[in-house]
Structure 1
Amino acid sequence: MSTQPVRTSSVRIGARGSKLSLAQAGMMQRRIAAALGVDPEDAAEVERVAPLIVITTTGDRIQDRRLLEIGGKGLFTKEIEEALLDGRIDCAIHSMKDVPAELPEGLCIAAIPEREDPRDAFLSRGPERLEDLSEGAILGTASLRRQAQCLHRRPDLKVQLLRGNVDTRLAKLAAGEADAILLAYSGLRRLGLGHLPTSLIDPKAAPPAPGQGALAIETRVSDRDLPWVQALRCEPTTLAVAAERGALTALEASCKTPIGAHAWLEGGTCKLIVEALTPDGARRFRHSGEAELAQLADPEASARALGVSLGEAIKAEAGDAIVL
C-alpha cells in the first residue's frame, strides 16, 4: 500500500501582506503542498493546490497607535478569521503571538509546526546589550511587554512608540529615531536577517510573548484533523505553546497586559516561567513550575493546566496592577 500523500482539492491559505507574513505563509504553503502530494519545489503546482490569498487587516492599516488603543492583537486576525468563517479561505497562517487567547466560535488552532528561536533580539546603533545603552537612551517598541521588561531593568530609558513592519523599524533605527529596538529573533531569521542583532535576550530572564517563534495554522473546527493538517503538527512545540497560552488565558492577557511566558521540554517534563509586570516596569510578578507529561493520555491538556495554574497565581498576587 502506498504511503505517498493523496492528492486532494486545493487548500486556500489566508495571510497578511507584510513581508514577514508572506515569508512565513510561503514556508507553510510549501509544507501544505507537500502534504497534498505536490513537489514543494514546483512553484506552479504549489500555487495551484495551495493558493495564497493576501488579506489586509485593521492592524496593518493603522500604524500610528499602539494596538491596545485600537482594539488589541485581534486586529491582526479579525479579517482573516472572517474569511475563514465565510469559506473564502481554508486555513490561515498567523504568528502565534498575534493570536488572542479566545478564538471565534467555529475556528481552532489545528496545527502548530516546529518552532523557531523564541527569543527577543536586541538591535542598536552601537551598544551590544540593553545594559550598555547610555542613560536616558531611546528604546523603540510597540510592545507593552517589551517596554515593561526593559524599564524593569533600565528605568532610565525613554520608550518611544515604534510600529510598522520589520523593514520600517530597521529603517527608523538607522535614521536615529531610536537608539535601540527589540524584535522577535524568529522573524529576523525567517527573513534572512538573523545576523543583524547585536545580542539576544535570555528567555528565562525576560520571557518573550506567549507563543513567540511559533506559527499557528487556524482552520474551521470541522477541518482540524484532515490529513494535510496533521502533517504540519509538531508535538514538542504544541506542548510548550499550550503551557504558555494557558497562562495567557488565565491572565486574560491582551496588548493591555505586559505578560511573558517561556516553556521548554526536558525529557518528559514541561518547564514554564511566567511573568507579568506593571506597565512602567516598576513591579514584576513571576512564577515558575513544571509538569510531568510523559505517558499521559492528554499531555497537551496537562501542559495547558500548568500554564493556567501559574497564570492564576500571578493574577491573584498582582490584581489590577498589571492592567493598563
Structure 2
Amino acid sequence: MKAVRIATRQSPLALWQARHVGALLAAHHPGLEVSLVEMTTEGDRFLSAPLSAVGGKGLFVKEIEQALIDGRADLAVHSLKDMTSELPEGLILAAVPTREDPRDAFCGLGGLTLDTLPQGARVGTSSLRRSCILRSRRPDLDIVSLRGNVQTRLQKTKELGLSGAVLAYAGLRRLGLEDVITQVLSTEVSLPAVGQGVLAIQCRGEDARVRGLLAPLEDATTRVAVTAERALLAKLEGGCTVPLAGHATVSEGQVHLRALVGRPDGTRVVRGEVRGLVANAQALGEALAADLLSRGAADILRDFARRPGSGA
C-alpha cells in the first residue's frame, strides 16, 4: 500500500492543516495511507519573548524542514507566512492549495471593534506588522506582545485584561472560532502578511513520487499571487524580521500587488502597489520591492537592523 508521512507542528491549527492536506491527498489517491510526524519547533518552545527577538518566523519551520532532509517525513505542511523567502537546498514548495481568506480579524472583548476601542486601549498581537499598522492608525493604543497558539493567545487576551487581539481570520475559521471575531479587517485597513491564508506543502525536490501525489492539490491562481509576494519578500527581507506586509490578488490575467514596510511604532510607513501580467509575477514583486526601498524602506530596514534583539 502507498504511504506518505506528513511533518507538522503540534499546535491545534498546524494539526488541522496537516490533516486537511492528508484528507485532500486521500481523496485524490484512494488507498493512500497518510500518517503525521508531529514535532515541536524552536518557535513553539521560546514563547516568553517577541518572535522578532528570538530569531524570526523561520523558527517555526527549521526543524520540520530538517525532518524532510533527513528522510523522517515525505512532505511538510506549513502556514506559508511562517516561511522565509529562501528554502533549504534540496527542498521545494511543491504545492499551494487554494488560498483561504487572507484578512486579519479583531477579537474584541465585550463586542469591541477596532473602531470602538477606547483611548489608550491595550491590544494584543504576536506580529510586528500588525503592531505597526495598529499604531499608525491609532498611536494611542498600548500594544501587548502575545505568543502561543491561537487558543493560547485568545486566553491570554482575557487573562491580561486586554481590550482585544488581532489574529489571522484564516486560522480562526479553520479552528471553528469565528464566534470570537468582532470585526474582520479589510485589506485596506490591515494589509496581510506575505502568504497569509496559504498552506505551503513542501517536499524533497528529488522525490518524484511525492511531487506527483501533490500535483492535484496545486492552485494556479494562488501560486501566481504567492510568487509575486515572495519575490517582494526576498528583496526586502535582508535577514531581519521587520514590519512588512505584501498581498497580491489575481484577476483576468493581471496581478495587483500591494505592500508596506514600516517602523514598529508606526511613525513611518512606506506603501506602494504595482499591477501587471500574471506571467510577470516574479518581476512585479521585485520591482515593487525596489520602489519601496528607493522611497524610504531601505532606511527603515537599516535602522531596524541596528536595534538590539531585532533578529538581524
TM-score range, shorter chain: over 0.9
| Larger strand share, 1 or 2 | 2
3-state SS of 1:65 partner: coil
| TM-score normalised by length of structure 1 | 0.89
> Shift of the alpha carbon at 1:253?
5.8
- The equivalent residue for 1:314 is 292
Residue type at the aligned position of 2:255: C
Which 4+ runs in 1 deviate beyond 4 A? Answer: none
CA RMSD, 1 decimal: 1.6
Residues 197-212 of structure 1: pairs in structure 2 closer than 5 A:
197-212=181-196
Q: 2:14 aligned with 1:35, yes or no?
A: no
Report the alpha carbon displacement of residue 254 of structure 1 after superposing the two structures with TM.
6.4
Q: Identify the match of residue 232 of structure 1 among 189, 208, 217.
A: 217
Q: Is the 8 A contact 1:84 1:219 kept in 2?
A: yes
Q: 1:200 to 1:253 in 2, by over 3 A?
A: farther
Counterpart in the other structure of 2:141 = 157
Matches within 5 A, 1:281-292: 281-292=266-277
Provide the residue aligned with 1:305 in structure 2: 283
Match in the other structure for 1:257: 242
Residues 273, 309 of structure 1: alpha-carbon distance in 2 compared, 3 angstrom cutoff: same
2:49 corresponds to: 65
Conserved? CA contact 2:92–2:204, under 8 Å: yes
Q: Percent identity?
A: 43
Change (3 A) 1:232 1:55: same
Structure 2 residue 10 is the aligned partner of structure 1 residue 17: yes
User: Measured at CA, do residues 253 and 28 of structure 1 come closer, stay the same or move farther in structure 2, by a change above 3 Å?
Assistant: farther
**One-letter code of the match for 1:196?**
V
Q: Report the Cα offset of residue 193 of structure 1.
A: 1.1
* Alpha-carbon distance in 1 for matches of 2:225, 2:79: 15
Contact persistence 1:204–1:273 (CA under 8 A): no
Once the two structures are superposed, what CA deviation does each residue of 1:174-205 show, in whole Å capped at 9, x if it has no partner? 23432110000000000011232111111134
The match for 2:98 is 114
Kindly indicate whether the alpha-carbon contact (under 8 Å) linking 2:94 and 2:211 is maintained by their aligned counterparts in 1.
no
Unaligned segments of structure 2, at least 5 residues: 305-312
Q: Deviations over 1:70-126 (max 9, x none)?
A: 111111001101100001101000000001111111111110001100000001113
Higher helix share: 2
Distance of 1:261 and 1:245 partners within structure 2: 8
Shift of 1:31: 1.0
Distance 1:77 1:258, change over 3 A: same
Over residues 296-324 of structure 1, what are the superposed CA-to-partner deviations in whole Å (9 max), with x where a residue is unaligned? xxx3xx21211111012112222231452
Task: Give the TM-score normalised by the residue count of structure 2.
Answer: 0.92
SS at match of 2:272: strand
1:256: how far off?
2.1
One-letter amino acid of the structure 2 residue matched with residue 112 of structure 1 = V
Distance in 2 between the 1:207 and 1:239 partners? 18
Change (3 A) 1:198 1:255: farther
Note the C-alpha offset of 1:127: 5.1
Mapped to 1, the partners of 2:137 and 2:238 lie a distance apart of 22
Which of 105, 108, 117 is matched with 1:133 structurally?
A: 117
Contact 1:275 1:286 in 2 (8 A): yes
Match status 1:142 vs 2:126: yes
SS at match of 1:306: helix
Deviations 1:218-262 (A, max 9, x none): 111113673211111001111111111111111016662101111
